[in-house]
Amino acid sequence: MRVQYSKGAHASEELIQLHRRTSEQAAGGRKVKVMLIFPPDWYPSEPYLSLPTLTAVLRAAGHTVIQKDVNLEMYDWYFSEDFLKRVLKKVPQQLDRLRKLANKRDLEEWEQDLRVALCDLTRERMAELIKKAEEAKRIVRSQDFYAIDKIEWAINTFREITSVISLVYAPARICMPPMETDLSYKVFMSSEVMDAVQDTQVNVYRDVFEHVLKPAIEAEKPEVIGISIVLQQQLLSSMTFCAMIKQRFPNIHITIGGNTVTRLRDVLPNSPLFAWFDSAVFYEGETAFLQLVEAVGAGRTLDGVPNVLYRDGAGVHTSSLTYSEDMSTLPPPDFEGLPLDKYFLPDTILPYLATRGCYWGRCEFCDHGEGYTAGYRSKKIHEVLDEIQYLRDKYGVRHFHFTDESYPPALFRKLCRGLVERKMDIAWTTHMRYEKSLLDEPVWEDAKRSGCKYLHVGYESGNERVLKLMDKATTTDVIKRSLELSHRAGIWNHAMGFFGFPGETREEALDSVRFLAENQELVNSVGFGTFDLSRHTPVAKNPDKWGVTPYINPAWDLALDYYYTVKQGLSIEDAERVFEEFEQHHPPVWDLRIFIREYIFLYVARFGKEKLPPLQFSAAKAGTDAPSLEAKVC
């Protein structure tokens, strides 16, 4: 099913320029100070591209921008003496809370265990953890990162310390890595998100606001704050920040945007969460947010600004206009102001995006097209190469993550050739499909010489019928040949797939397992899960076609995924059982001691794929269980 982009009237360039001239005249040429925020939780290994992309456009228009990666600053603070001493001070408060509960009722088993664990959290124990935290941060930011025993120790230390932090915020569970912080509230219900925001016991983000964000707002005094919400889980931290900003700084205009906001654009106008922010930008944000900032600066209404929801005295309004960006007019991302040396990496990785949308756009399980109002677009290859070279030289980096949803075959060929011809000397990673048009050996020789080190590839299934159902337009022969070519070129390939696509049988799901096992020498790592019925996918929009019955609970107003049943094939529970069997019986070569994608990328870039057997997990050596395949970052 081809993605449909008919999502409102498209604003003309003339209308956009008219709106901007009107705002500038009303504001008398006054420029606006804007603070852009990336909220928790995300692994703090590289900047997320939304902030630098918006920053470049705003600064080009003369506005002042402060980029604030609160997620990064939060984790830097978590693993510090200051925060861990605060945790120690909270221990008596948590014990007193449990004592009061025990006077009212019998404590549950987990609460009894919590009380014992809190009593073990002594001053001496915390002093030890403080030393370990600082050492772990030093390792991930130094060349000791490339000693596998040390980086594995650092990762385990982060996990140990976040489990200790959880004790004083219980029943919240804080975990890193993987990113599994759970405040014990349902993120798919506005009412529960609102309760979570006000819960001073579990909501660690309230403390993050007071320590990280509030002092920055007081110092910078921005007129507009924009928050980029990429994952639904980030609603908890984002709404906490919005509510506390509104309470402390009521005159600041707050806008939210990002992937999750776009997917919730139809329900946000009726959500009580809208009381905590003033506007929301959906779809592409550069022009829309610039227009919004200039309208706010001019004291004008947001009427006429494309891609926005906004609240005024009359209620919440949705713009009837949409706008999609001309890629050739966008400047390269601007990372100035982000503390690049503070990310949890020894060598900076910069993200870069050359395209918008997916050139294929037909996968029945995918909702990436929901984020756009126009089809696939790309910068010209000379623009791409010029900007990569500019970023390399400006920031002194050689590692890049090309964050395109799926790198187009023609552009992949041109990119590899161009990087070779320019002798760019970079290392890079990206995301791709298995394509019949990329089965030429010279392509992969160019890829190798260009610095391509690590590819995330959509494998999805090893069964021909299921691949056709998904409209993947590939075959197992193409997949195997692609694996052979990338393997021969020394490029690490990470195969992503899932069980339980509607209509898939158990035997067909096991075909996926068998194919990977038969070709395990060609597959370096895997990231598997089960099918999710996301509300914006073609399957969810055409349930009868797929024999799917979604169960929609009106109280779950923020739900982006549905529970469902099927007429044929694997149920949700059946797919989970296949996945659990895969977890238990897959080839051990895929169990890696580090499973964070940026970490693997840097290891491959440093040592080469063939020299990395130490990455393979050894339970006997590590003294613990192998990490879950579901937990792998992909």
User: Is residue 562 in some structural domain?
Assistant: no
Instruction: Print the domain residue range for 104.
Output: 75-186
**One-letter amino acid for residue 131 of the chain:** K
Over the Cα atoms of the chain, what is R_g?
25
pLDDT tens sequence across 358-391: 999 999 999 988 888 888 999 999 999 999 999 9
Residue 226 CB partners (closer than 8 Å, separation 6+): 34, 35, 36, 37, 54, 254, 255, 256, 257, 281, 289
User: Is residue 12 in some structural domain?
Assistant: no
Same domain, residue pair 101 and 178: yes
Same domain, residue pair 272 and 408: no
User: Is residue 549 in some structural domain?
Assistant: no
Same domain, residue pair 95 and 161: yes
User: Is residue 357 in some structural domain?
Assistant: yes
pLDDT tens sequence across 458-473: 999 999 999 999 999 9
User: Is residue 524 in some structural domain?
Assistant: yes
Same domain, residue pair 511 and 444: yes
The pTM of the full predicted model, rounded to 2 decimals, is 0.94
Residue 303 CB partners (closer than 8 Å, separation 6+): 317, 319
User: Is residue 342 in some structural domain?
Assistant: no
What span, in angstroms and rounded, lies between the C-alpha atoms of 462 and 480? 10
Number of domain units in the chain: 3
User: Is residue 522 in some structural domain?
Assistant: yes
Q: What is the pLDDT of residue 632?
A: 41
Residue 6 has pLDDT above 80, yes or no: no
Q: Which of 161, 186, 211 is the C-terminal boundary of a domain?
A: 186
State the CATH number of the domain containing residue 602: 3.80.30.20
Q: What is the pLDDT of residue 628?
A: 54
> With b meaning 16 or more CB within 10 Å and e meaning fewer, what string describes 190-221?
bebbbebbebebbbbbbbbbeebbbeebeeee
Q: What is the pLDDT of residue 613?
A: 77
Same domain, residue pair 177 and 206: no
Same domain, residue pair 405 and 494: yes
Same domain, residue pair 306 and 436: no
Same domain, residue pair 95 and 58: no
Same domain, residue pair 430 and 291: no
User: Is residue 320 in some structural domain?
Assistant: yes
Same domain, residue pair 66 and 85: no
Could you tell me how many residues make up the chain?
634
pLDDT tens sequence across 37-76: 999 999 999 999 999 999 999 999 999 999 999 999 999 9
Same domain, residue pair 376 and 521: yes
Same domain, residue pair 383 and 301: no
State the CATH number of the domain containing residue 221: 3.40.50.280
Q: Which of 186, 215, 250 is the C-terminal boundary of a domain?
A: 186
Percent of the chain residues topping a pLDDT of 90: 88
Would you place residue 449 in the very low, low, confident or very high pLDDT band (cuts 50, 70, 90)?
very high
